[in-house]
Amino acid sequence: MTLRKLGFGIVFAALMIMAACGTGDQKVDNGNGTEGMETPANQAETPGTENPVEDSQTPPAMNDGQSESTAFRNISVAGKNGEYVVNGEARVFEAVFLYTVEDGHDYVIEETQATANEGAPAWSPFELKISIPEDQLPMNGALTLELYEKSAKDGSVINETFVKLEEFGS
C-alpha cells in the first residue's frame, strides 16, 4: 500500500509542477499602463492589436513640442500665413541639422541646412525663421516642418521630428 501512495504522490507532484509552469506566457507592462502577454521564445509571434505592425502608409506622429526626441525638444512655433519663427533645442552632431517644409503633397521648402549654437552632447537652442510666399500656402491641409539629421555613416535620414506649422481650411 505504501508503494501505491508513493506512486500517487509522484504523479500528483508532477501534475502540480506542470500546472505551475503554465503555458509559458508571461504578463508584461507595455509601458502605457496596460498589460499584455509575452510570447514564449519558442513560439512565433503573430501580429495583432497588442503589437500593431507599422504600416509604411501611416503618417508619422506629429511632435507636440514637448515630446522627447533624441535630437530635438522644446519646440515652439509662432506666426501664421507663411511667416513663422520656430524655436527649440537640438542635440545634433557638430550643431548641424536639416529641415524641410511640406504641405502634404509637395515640398514648399526643400532641404535646408541649419545650425544650433553648440553640437552634441549638449542640448543647444536654435531658431528658424521660415517665410513661405502666399501663393505657395495650401488652401486646405497643413504645413509641416520636418527636422532631421543625416547619418555620417550612410547619409540616411535619422532623428526625424515633425512639427505642424499651421492648419489651413478647417
Please give, one letter per residue, the 3-state secondary structure of 113-133.
Answer: EEECCCCCCCCEEEEEEEECC
Query: Tell me, what amino acid is at 23?
Result: T
Tell whether the model's pLDDT for residue 13 goes beyond 70: no
Instruction: State whether residue 33 is helix, strand or coil.
Output: coil
Secondary-structure class of domain 72-168 per CATH: mainly beta
- The domain limits of the chain are 1-54, 72-168
Q: Which whole number is the average pLDDT over 138-155?
A: 95
Q: Does the pLDDT at position 48 exceed 70? A: no
Pairwise CA distance, residues 21 & 27, whole Å: 14
| Nearest alpha carbon to residue 87 among 140, 130, 50, 58 | 130
